[in-house]
Structure 1
Amino acid sequence: MNQSNVSLLDLPNEILITILKKLDNMDVLYSIMNIGNQRLDNLVLEKTFTKTLNFVLTTLNDDIVSIDDSIFNQLCINILPRIDYNVKSLILESVSMERILLAADYPNLTELKIFNFNEPIFAYYFAVESPIQRFFQQITDLIIVYKDDKNTLLMKQYPKGVHGCILKFFENLKHLSITGLNSILSLRNLPLTTCSSSILYKLCINLNTFEDCLALLDGRLKQLTTVIININSTDYHSPNVYNMDDLLNMKCFSLKCRCRKNEYDTKILPLLRRMPNLEELTLNIINSKRITFVDGTQINNEILIHMPRLYKFIFNINTRTKPNDLVHYLSNDDIQRTFTNIGYEQVCCIVNYVNIGIGICHVFSLPFMFDYLEYIGNKFPPIDFSHVVSLGVYDSVPFEHEFFIRIGRFFPFLKELRVINFESQSHISSELNFHDNQLHSIVEYSHLISLILMTVHIDYVEQFLNDRKTHLPRLTTLTVDYDQLTIVTENFTRDITRLNCTKIKELTIEESREHSKDFYVYFPLLESCLCSDSD
């Protein structure tokens, strides 16, 4: 056989389907639209979109992928009506949601996931009657991802509208997830009929305060078995009394919150003890002012012995306290031993003492499964932190160049980094080294978008902006002391620090300043220069 004459269409159907299954569904559809081959067209429709259609056009890098209008029209007019019977799940951008939903009947559609949701979209589709509401009754799984912008309209204008309307319109909803910075629910002083359902069993939601958590679990959602909650604040000063009966149906519970005082002991632990039948538990908690560190003994005595059916426990608990409040300074080994004593081996701890009178202790299950970590010091274990996208580092001992190399190695997907350290780096303390002398390999943070250097020694501004020390190809947001920035960049003329500044779109400094012409040349993409008293 002359292999040069063999084309893709000469392959058997089984091989073609195997190839198509390796490709993204949308890419397959776009590629065959103008081929005009009926056999390939039928094979694609047989293989593609038997369950899920994904129309989200935002990539993992937050870049918008444009689609030609003619291709989109062909999808809506010629493709969707032919495959709608097989479609059970739709993943959509809010701006194109109506066009796609109205393109076909989707009789078996039960799951809907909407990205870049916002208040105008809510007002159009939920506050008034809209054509797509005919699909609401058949949806059992609804996932809404709010667009994270700086206008917290939900809190100001729609404190209860979104969630209440959703449960009203989607009467058969069994799974509801609403996420994003602007999707915070407040239930205080609202009747039991608000956000109530007799069939909802899974809920993922952001709450304003811990009181909202108590209100949500007061009986209005009796069938809940899985709850994932992110609490914005644990402040609780209301005289309201809520139903505190045991949550016997609860099987899976996940809680993320920051306790500013003693809320971990007075609120979180009593809530957990209301779940005796819990099988899976995830805790991501920061304790800002607890008297003692949370360790294995405390976790066992206050949580685990109250949950005899628990078989999966994922946790990251950060405790900050004053060393004077401790009987003595506890080491990593001391904390690790408390977990060994209760039979927990897949646990790691990081203990860090800073000389301003603060002790910080992290205890977490392995592998580390959370997206942020704060604050670690110079000593951290060489384990995989690939889930972490936001990190804070804080120490009274200088962070040398090698430390940032280790950060890049063990935190490979960092998007945000906050540094707090007032001590000079010893290896760049001389005037010669401060400038262009390259002493080490270059640190590479290929995913870093946001860098916060407001409370640091000037050496760390040099560390990150000098492209012979650190490479930041995606840095777009910088928070920094303006005087330090001016010195390090030599009044915005120094070439060796120019590269890491060229893509910055948002610069946050401590006070308003008048900028030179060189400043704007140095930051050619700058969209905003913000003022902040502290960070």
Structure 2
Amino acid sequence: MGVNKRLNRLVQDTIFTRDLYLQEYSPVDDSTIPLPNPILDRFCSKILPEIGHQIETLYLKGTSIEPVLHATNYPNLNNLGLCDIHFKQAMSLFVDENPLIHIFKNQVSSLKINFNNKNNSCPMVGISSVIFQKILTIYTNLRCLKCNPSSPFGDALYLYPANGIAICPTLLELHVSVTDMKQCLHILDGRFDQLRILYVTFDSVSPEFFNIEDNVEKGYSQCHIYSYPYKLKVYNNITNNFPGGLFTCVTQVSLYDERPFEHDFFLRIAQSFPFMKELTIKNQKAQNKKQFIKSNSDDQILSIIEYPNLTRLDLTNTHDDYIELFLFDRKMSLPNNLHLCVDYQSLERVTYYFTRYITRNHCAKLAGVYFYPLNQIDENIKNYFPHTCICRAVDFV
């Protein structure tokens, strides 16, 4: 190619030419910028025409987008990233008259596009939505689309109802920023009937949410939106609002709330996570319905909660009521190989200083109990946990 010998060797190696990221790193602000014109001109005139047939992935930025795309043919290109692209530039690219349309039409299966409107060169509202619709129309083989996935509110998409009509039947994965939750629901109205993975960012929350008074004590909140079927092994920070369901892949669960967990909640957890092995509970609120249960002469009015696969239980940050719940054999059925991490003082109170009969059965069958400090262990404790390994809390890992 006559540029220089070292570069000649690199560009002829498919390891380097298969995936090209034509951007320059800027150490000033830890960002990327378009290639300088001299380097860009050399790539477009000398290098790309020689290696265009080898390129499968191409990431371009700003002013280098069109020169690179026009430099040569890319018969094997299937992954395309267009970063920092201006709206007018994007509008001209995604029209039927553009000579590059053959690349977009059938080849590209994965597209990432991030818009740049820092100079407010054209109105933001609605422009990104128009481009989004054009992309879905032009890319007939699109499998993955990342369209302004984390844009500011003004650049977010606004989607109209599609009345169940599939407008991109090939799309499997979508990353997008929308104006509000209603727009998120429009995505799921049937227009993407093969969609499997959805990542959504939205900044606008309905005003009704701002007026909810639920005695929140902490200065933060959480929102969980999960796909179904749920394939992850971990499900964290479940609250009383948990609707239930069946999660057969989950083995590790944590529960957290500022309102008490009642008996029926733990039943719902048992039904939803039949293969749960690890459970962590964080709740400092006493149970409201505990006194009602005590006032009944028949404790069996409540179903016994069963966690047959549970091997690790962390109750170090819970109210005594939850320790009592798990140690009462009339309320809970536990396996023989369970390791329990618990606060020592709480355990003393619940077991009446290791003399209480109704908690003795479960304590005797524990494989391990973890608390701090260990220098308080005496014969009463050892007799109360006759077959249990007594360890430090720091060893509960």
Query: Deviation at 1:127?
Result: 4.8
Query: Deviation at 1:105?
Result: 0.8
* 1:52 pairs with 2:24: no
Identify the residue that residue 395 of structure 2 maps to in structure 1. Answer: none
1:95 pairs, out of 60, 63, 74, with 63
In structure 2, what is the Cα distance between the partners aligned to 1:309 and 1:172? 34
Query: Deviation at 1:113?
Result: 0.5
Identify the residue that residue 187 of structure 2 maps to in structure 1. Answer: 216
Query: Deviation at 1:91?
Result: 0.2
* 1:298 pairs with 2:237: no
1:175-194 equivalent positions in 2, closer than 5 A: 175-178=144-147, 179=149, 180-181=151-152, 182-189=154-161, 191-193=163-165
Change (3 A) 1:122 1:314: farther
- Report which structure shows greater RCO (CA 8 Å, sep ≥6): 2
Query: Deviation at 1:188?
Result: 4.0
Decide whether the 8 Å contact of 1:172 with 1:199 is kept in 2.
Answer: yes
1:257-406 equivalent positions in 2, closer than 5 A: 260=210, 272=226, 275-280=227-232, 295-298=237-240, 301-302=242-243, 305-311=244-250, 334-335=282-283
2:172 pairs, out of 201, 220, 236, with 201
Q: Deviations over 1:467-524 (max 9, x none)?
A: xxxxxxxxxxxxxxxxxxxxxxxxxxxxxxxxxxxxxxxxxxxxxxxxxxxxxxxxxx
Identify the residue that residue 390 of structure 2 maps to in structure 1. Answer: none
Cα RMSD for the two superposed structures: 4.7
* 1:164 pairs with 2:145: no
Change (3 A) 1:63 1:217: closer
Query: Deviation at 1:334?
Result: 4.0
Give 5+ residue unaligned stretches, structure 2: 215-222, 261-279, 287-305, 318-397
TM-score when scaled to structure 2? 0.54
Identical amino acids, percent of aligned pairs? 21
In the alignment, residue 50 of structure 2 is paired with which amino acid? R
Q: Deviations over 1:277-334 (max 9, x none)?
A: 2324999xxxxxxxxxx954537x43xx42424459999x9x9x9xxxx68xxxx984
Give 5+ residue unaligned stretches, structure 1: 1-31, 238-258, 284-293, 351-535
1:120 pairs, out of 68, 71, 88, with 88
Decide whether the 8 Å contact of 1:188 with 1:211 is kept in 2.
Answer: no
Query: What SS does the aligned partner of 1:222 have?
Result: coil
In structure 1, what is the Cα distance between the partners aligned to 2:313 and 2:131? 41
Q: Deviations over 1:418-446 (max 9, x none)?
A: xxxxxxxxxxxxxxxxxxxxxxxxxxxxx
Identify the residue that residue 205 of structure 2 maps to in structure 1. Answer: 234
In structure 2, what is the Cα distance between the partners aligned to 1:314 and 1:156? 42
Alignment length, in residue pairs? 265
In structure 2, what is the Cα distance between the partners aligned to 1:224 and 1:52? 26
Query: Deviation at 1:70?
Result: 3.4
TM-score when scaled to structure 1? 0.41
In structure 2, what is the Cα distance between the partners aligned to 1:345 and 1:218? 41
Change (3 A) 1:71 1:276: closer
Query: Deviation at 1:115?
Result: 0.6
Decide whether the 8 Å contact of 1:110 with 1:141 is kept in 2.
Answer: yes
Decide whether the 8 Å contact of 1:184 with 1:208 is kept in 2.
Answer: yes
Change (3 A) 1:136 1:306: same
1:234-253 equivalent positions in 2, closer than 5 A: 234-235=205-206
Query: What SS does the aligned partner of 2:100 have?
Result: helix
In structure 2, what is the Cα distance between the partners aligned to 1:336 and 1:233? 33
Question: Highest CA radius of gyration, 1 or 2?
Answer: 2
Q: Deviations over 1:103-122 (max 9, x none)?
A: 11111000101110231122
